[in-house]
């Protein structure tokens, strides 16, 4: 691990480079990028900082039932990836425009973006999270990689898909240290549906999760779009709301052309990483010195990038846990 310790100014510059999509445009992103690159010379937790969570022993890999040993398959079937990418693109670009057009006080008062985490994560700790499963073919490959590397993860499945593929949900739960949270029944954009529908989405998913097992009391909004009424219902049911420090933007990396400028801004992707998803996630984790990472089971590029991402995070000295770990308490709502 490198011993270089960045100054507070350098670290703040890197963090804000990954948050500029919340309130600024492309010119400001370019202005901060130089400082962010300097901060990235620190590739892992600070020298002398104790790891908060023990990493699983490499000599005793975790085994998921029926997981196939060996490398993750290089080709897996696509399952609605194009539709998911388009819906995600529209939601991200709409959020970017809304942030540029709407006063911050109004956005806060309306609770529209509760998934955006403003607090820094515990240093040296990463929580990998996977939304929108289960996806036959993709889910098994992700679980096999996590099991082989001894890495826990958090899954936020869409409940109507979970009902169709209960065996895959059981395999998620069988991964030691893994947790399964509430991600609504059908994954609607809460900014486009009535409050009554929002509450039904949360309640119906909650009922399914509780019928199968005691759920991890974690809730994540589809597309990260929230409302005050939905917050109240989720909290009344006992959930903590889970956002993310680093958005992998995996939906935008599916094609060879890379991210557009607006897509990059919407996810906090620095110009150097518009064709490099693993590089972008590493850059975001390094800037925050850890954090909750958002990914999706829907996309093949996520499945294929996972092994490299885990290896590079381990090489930097990061350890893995889930948002249910008390060390992430300050990052949840």
Q: Where are the domains of the chain?
A: 8-331
Residue 183 has pLDDT above 50, yes or no: yes
Q: Give counts: helices (H), strands (E), the chain.
A: 12, 8
- C-beta of residue 286 within 8 angstroms of C-beta of residue 316: yes
Q: What is the C-alpha separation between 205 and 140, in angstroms, rounded? A: 22
Average pLDDT, stretch 282-291?
A: 97
- According to DSSP, the residues that pair with 293 across neighbouring strands are 128, 246
Q: What is the C-alpha separation between 221 and 234, in angstroms, rounded? A: 10
User: Rounded to 5 degrees, what angle do the CA atoms 82, 270, 133 make?
Assistant: 30
| Long-range interactions of 273-280: CB distance < 8 A, separation 24+ | 277/248, 277/249, 277/250, 277/253, 277/301, 277/302, 277/305, 278/305, 278/308, 278/309, 278/312, 280/248, 280/249
Percent of the chain topping pLDDT 90:
64
Kindly report the CATH number that applies to the domain delimited by 8-331. 3.20.20.370
Q: Which is catalytic among the residues 131, 132, 206, 316?
A: 131
Residue 55 has pLDDT above 70, yes or no: no
- C-beta of residue 217 within 8 angstroms of C-beta of residue 180: no
Q: What is the C-alpha separation between 95 and 92, in angstroms, rounded? A: 5
pLDDT score at 302? 95
Residue 32 has pLDDT above 60, yes or no: no
DSSP state of 244: B
- According to DSSP, the residues that pair with 129 across neighbouring strands are 154, 294
Residue 264 has pLDDT above 80, yes or no: yes
Q: Which is catalytic among the residues 21, 296, 299, 307?
A: 296
Residue 225 has pLDDT above 70, yes or no: yes
DSSP state of 54: P
Residue 15 has pLDDT above 80, yes or no: no
* Two structure tokens written together for 131: 């939304």
User: Rounded to 5 degrees, what angle do the CA atoms 97, 127, 305 make?
Assistant: 75
Q: What is the C-alpha separation between 207 and 223, in angstroms, rounded? A: 22
For the stretch 69-122, pLDDT in tens is: 343 333 334 457 788 888 888 998 998 898 889 898 998 899 998 888 989 999
User: For all residues of the chain together, what is the average pLDDT?
Assistant: 81
3 state SS of 44: coil
Catalytic residue list contains 229:
no
Catalytic residue list contains 296:
yes
């Amino acid at each position: 691990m490198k011993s270089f310790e960045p100054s507070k100014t350098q670290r703040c510059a890197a963090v804000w480079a990954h948050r500029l999509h919340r309130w600024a445009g492309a010119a400001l992103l370019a202005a901060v990028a130089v400082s962010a690159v300097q901060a990235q010379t620190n590739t892992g937790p600070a020298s002398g900082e104790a790891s908060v969570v023990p990493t699983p022993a490499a000599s005793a890999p975790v085994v998921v039932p029926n997981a196939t040993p060996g490398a993750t398959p290089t080709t897996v079937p696509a399952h609605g990836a194009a539709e998911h990418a388009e819906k995600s693109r529209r939601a991200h670009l709409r959020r970017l425009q809304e942030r540029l057009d709407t006063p911050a006080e109004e956005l806060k008062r309306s609770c529209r973006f509760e998934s955006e985490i403003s607090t820094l994560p515990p240093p040296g700790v990463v929580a990998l999270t996977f939304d929108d499963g289960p996806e036959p073919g993709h889910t098994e490959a992700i679980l096999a990689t996590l099991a082989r590397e001894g890495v826990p993860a958090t899954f936020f499945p869409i409940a109507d898909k979970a009902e169709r593929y209960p065996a895959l949900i059981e395999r998620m739960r069988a991964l030691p240290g893994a947790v399964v949270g509430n991600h609504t029944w059908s994954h609607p954009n809460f900014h486009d549906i009535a409050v009554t529908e929002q509450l039904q989405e949360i309640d119906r998913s909650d009922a399914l999760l509780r019928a199968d097992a005691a759920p991890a009391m974690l809730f994540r909004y589809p597309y990260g779009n929230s409302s005050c009424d939905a917050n109240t219902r989720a909290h009344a049911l006992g959930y903590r709301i889970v956002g993310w420090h680093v958005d992998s933007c995996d939906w935008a990396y599916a094609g060879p052309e890379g991210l557009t400028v607006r897509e990059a801004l919407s996810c906090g992707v620095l110009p150097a990483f518009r064709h490099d998803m693993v590089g972008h996630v590493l850059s975001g984790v390094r800037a925050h010195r850890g954090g909750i990472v958002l990914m999706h089971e829907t996309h093949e590029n996520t499945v294929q990038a996972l092994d490299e991402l885990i290896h590079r995070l381990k090489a930097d000295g990061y350890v893995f846990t889930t948002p249910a770990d008390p060390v992430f308490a300050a990052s949840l709502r």
